[in-house]
Structure 1
Amino acid sequence: MERRKFLGALSLAGVATALSPKELLANQAKPKEVLPAAAKNQREYWYQLLYKMANPVVSNLANGTLKKNMPLEKSPTFDSRSPTVTYLEAVGRTYAGIAPWLALPDDTTKEGILRKKLKENALLGLKKCFEPGSPDLLTFGKDYQPIVDAAYLAQTFLRAPKALWEPLDADTKKRIIDSFKSLRNRKPFQSNWLLFGSITEAFLLSIGEQYDTARLEEGVKKLNSWYKGDGNYGDGPNLAFDYYNSFVIHPMMVDTLAVLVDKNMAEKKAYDLALKRMQRYAVGQERMISPEGTFPPIGRSITYRTGALQALSQIALMEKLPETIKPAQVRCALTKVYQNMYDVPGTFDKNDWLQLGFCGHQPEIADYYTSTGSLYMATLSFLPLGLPASNTFWTAPDEDWTAKKAWGGKTFAKDYHVDY
């Protein structure tokens, strides 16, 4: 089995100022470019935008200043949970989004220099936020929210084991493992949350640690019992018309089953079925991107912005896009969405922290559980950066996405429901 395929696998001008003179000189030795100009510029736009988004979290964590410097903006209807969960949210979600990119090998290109620096800080930050006495020590022992963001950290390690798990020292690994196991005194809610428990236990299983069998299996079993058809799972017994199939359900279902199959605890046909359902959902996601490069602000958690497109992004990363969708369609569609959503005043504050909103600063639309750290779910749509620059996703000529073809009077693929 190829684990990569199973598991997935700055202000923009400010990027240059983040490089030291030594790094800039090293960049002169970069290898020959393999991308055509348009695709090259799109990849550069993507990685600079992801760096702008992730660097405040990762660099402050590495410096022990995340809690000191990260602004805490809460929804006007924020509930009684401790607002300190926002820091774990920022870490878990950011790391899950940057993991595939950081898993690429080091090189001396401008991108490679940024990526290596972010990876070094990410590893240092993980050590610090699990170190007793650290000002950025993350809390897992109370509240239910840590169940969620432990899962995104677990998914991080599944997505980039060699880059972000194996290099950690033994003490840090033990502290992370113990933190994950400490969550077993709290049960996930009967919703997409069940997969948070499952993927956390799947990660423990993947590294040979003791795991909770019931917690590991419950998410997969229950979500399968809630499947509604045509690529959509219910979030509980009923279908919720929102993006939780993308935020959580499809990616964590597929990644959990990948581990279970690898460990001979599930049949491959179960994984294949989950993957087919995710592919079908990805078809709908690609078609929902308008000709102008927008998508509908539907349902809960729309402040997670492009995190809503994680399922499509992960299928692209896995190189499992359906035949009706060319990789360049996804690249061009997502690039246009990013330009519409992230080049808008108010999306970032003056220090490049994300602010509450969907397109700009709109705190009034934030849900009762939303604070600054929650917003870093947005990084989850950047997963295709884990594909090397030589991959077809980046090298193919620009391609109109389905809605742009349809509304432009061009031929486009017909669409039919599926029965699996």
Structure 2
Amino acid sequence: MKKYIIVLLLSCAILPVQLLAQSKTNKKQIANGAADRAFWVKTLYKMSYPVVHNLAEETLKKNMPLEKGDGYGLNVTKVTYLEALGRTMSGLAPWLALPDDDTEEGKMRKSMRQELLKGLANSVNPASPDYMNYRTESQPLVDAAFVAHAFLRAPKALWEPLDEITKKRFVEEFKSLRTRSGAYNNWLLFAGITEGFLLSIGEQYDPARVQFAVNKLKEWYVGDSWYSDGAKFSMDYYNSFVIHPMLVDLLKLLADKKRGSLNDYNTAVERMSRQAAYLERVISPEGTFPVYGRSMTYRTAVFQALAQTALIEKLPEGVEPEQVRCALTKVMHKMYDGNQNFDKDGWLVLGFNGHQPKIADSYTSTGSLYMATMGFLTLGLPAENKFWSGPALPWTSVKAWGGEMIMRDHKIEN
């Protein structure tokens, strides 16, 4: 076990043997996270490219597979394409918000941003073959919210460069959602974040939808960072998939606009930080984590709340950024080193770690799977940030199972 920990200190994810055998200079790069970041970038780019590139070329509907879970109950062609767009861009947004540079990563980022901007215009252009549906069905309430969340995460990169006609079209599509209501659970946040985005750009918004979402989540808080998903608690990862990330960002917006309490925002951040502590602890030394609850086809989106907490630099006391980097890198190597999660054309397949369609829910189709990008939010931190530049550190389970000194876990009262 001691040898195992020493190897981890050299490489966050026990990288391939040939990489570890390279020069001292390259070993230094491994130790300070450069190789980890390069792997994250390559993986996020690979995952996102089929969605973004095809939408830019107006071939998304033509080329994206339409795989569905057993008992699928939605109109797939009416919802899956907006699912793919909203979820992909929400995960990409912090990375795309970084400034341009001449590095290999910078060139990849610029190319992805340019194609996404082109695709966004196509997605709301009624004359485009890839025009997306906001006007019917309930599911667009969800995925319009992910589009809006992406705009909030990267306004200067993804919203401001759009032409005025495209901006007007998005506003009209978002407002059209008011003709429908969704489930009485985390879905309230979807309406809240979309209306919050309209507030952020000075458009007429519905304050009732925003306040209803905030008030109900306050009521549904059950303690120690956990919210029930509606009136009854569900043991799954929706606190990370949706609740903490969207609630924190919505409350920040309201506080910034003097429409909400700064104390409410700070409390939500404290709770998300505590949730991040849970998520860091469930990552095993091997990079696995418990597979339970709904929507496990979302893969690395399980760690969205941990990634966002690291992104805003609010990790809990005793959890270092470098150990989070190493834990998440290990997970991503475990899941994405092979091609088991992609088909021959690079699209995500229905499953958790491989093609496992039986694990899919009745609302899951190909577009749903791109929630997985949301585990990569911490790419929004620049390469020189401590998260990336610091030396590799073992995460909690590595230290615990290795007999190393660890601090006791404790609940929060807020």
**Which TM-score applies when normalising by structure 2?**
0.92
Q: Return closer, same or farther for 1:403/1:413 CA change in 2, 3 Å cut-off.
A: same
Runs of 5+ unmatched residues, structure 2? 1-25
Of residues 53, 61, 68, the one that matches 2:62 is: 68
Q: Which residue of 2 aligns with 1:21?
A: none
Measure, in 2, the Cα distance between the counterparts of 1:342 and 1:78.
Answer: 26
Letter in 2 for 1:219: A
Of residues 235, 242, 251, the one that matches 2:245 is: 251
Measure, in 1, the Cα distance between the counterparts of 2:201 and 2:54.
Answer: 28
Q: Which residue of 1 aligns with 2:10?
A: none
Q: Which residue of 1 aligns with 2:30?
A: 37
Query: SS of 2:222's equivalent?
Result: strand
Measure, in 1, the Cα distance between the counterparts of 2:284 and 2:298.
Answer: 19
User: Structure 1 residues 36-45 or 98-107, which shifts more?
Assistant: 36-45
**2:303 corresponds to 1:309:** yes
Q: Which residue of 2 aligns with 1:25?
A: none
Whether the aligned pair in 1 keeps the contact of 2:350 and 2:357 (CA below 8 Å) is: yes
**2:289 corresponds to 1:295:** yes
Query: SS of 2:288's equivalent?
Result: coil
Runs of 5+ unmatched residues, structure 1? 1-32
Of residues 409, 412, 415, the one that matches 2:406 is: 412
**Which TM-score applies when normalising by structure 1?**
0.91
Whether the aligned pair in 1 keeps the contact of 2:214 and 2:247 (CA below 8 Å) is: yes
Whether the aligned pair in 2 keeps the contact of 1:131 and 1:137 (CA below 8 Å) is: yes
Query: SS of 1:228's equivalent?
Result: strand
Measure, in 2, the Cα distance between the counterparts of 1:308 and 1:78.
Answer: 22
Measure, in 1, the Cα distance between the counterparts of 2:30 and 2:220.
Answer: 46
Of residues 378, 382, 386, the one that matches 2:376 is: 382
Q: Which residue of 1 aligns with 2:226?
A: 232
Whether the aligned pair in 2 keeps the contact of 1:154 and 1:200 (CA below 8 Å) is: yes
Letter in 2 for 1:185: T
| Per-residue deviation, residues 109-150 of structure 1 (Å, max 9, x unmatched) | 000010000000000000111112100000011100000001
Whether the aligned pair in 2 keeps the contact of 1:82 and 1:143 (CA below 8 Å) is: no
Of residues 106, 109, 119, the one that matches 1:112 is: 106
Letter in 2 for 1:55: Y
The CA deviation at 1:345 is 4.0
Measure, in 2, the Cα distance between the counterparts of 1:85 and 1:378.
Answer: 18
Query: SS of 1:209's equivalent?
Result: coil
Of residues 129, 146, 156, the one that matches 1:152 is: 146
The CA deviation at 1:80 is 4.1
Whether the aligned pair in 1 keeps the contact of 2:145 and 2:193 (CA below 8 Å) is: yes
| Per-residue deviation, residues 354-390 of structure 1 (Å, max 9, x unmatched) | 0001011101110000000000000001001000000
Q: Which residue of 1 aligns with 2:366?
A: 372
Letter in 2 for 1:249: I
Query: SS of 1:208's equivalent?
Result: coil
Query: SS of 1:394's equivalent?
Result: helix
| Per-residue deviation, residues 391-419 of structure 1 (Å, max 9, x unmatched) | 00001100101011100111112111111
Whether the aligned pair in 2 keeps the contact of 1:344 and 1:360 (CA below 8 Å) is: no
Of residues 263, 266, 270, the one that matches 1:272 is: 266
Query: SS of 1:299's equivalent?
Result: coil
Q: Which residue of 2 aligns with 1:50?
A: 44
Measure, in 2, the Cα distance between the counterparts of 1:416 and 1:390.
Answer: 32
User: Structure 1 residues 71-80 or 378-387, which shifts more?
Assistant: 71-80
Whether the aligned pair in 1 keeps the contact of 2:76 and 2:365 (CA below 8 Å) is: no
Of residues 56, 73, 77, the one that matches 1:79 is: 73
Letter in 2 for 1:133: A
Q: Give me the CA root mean square deviation.
A: 1.1
The CA deviation at 1:36 is 3.0
| Per-residue deviation, residues 16-39 of structure 1 (Å, max 9, x unmatched) | xxxxxxxxxxxxxxxxx9x83331
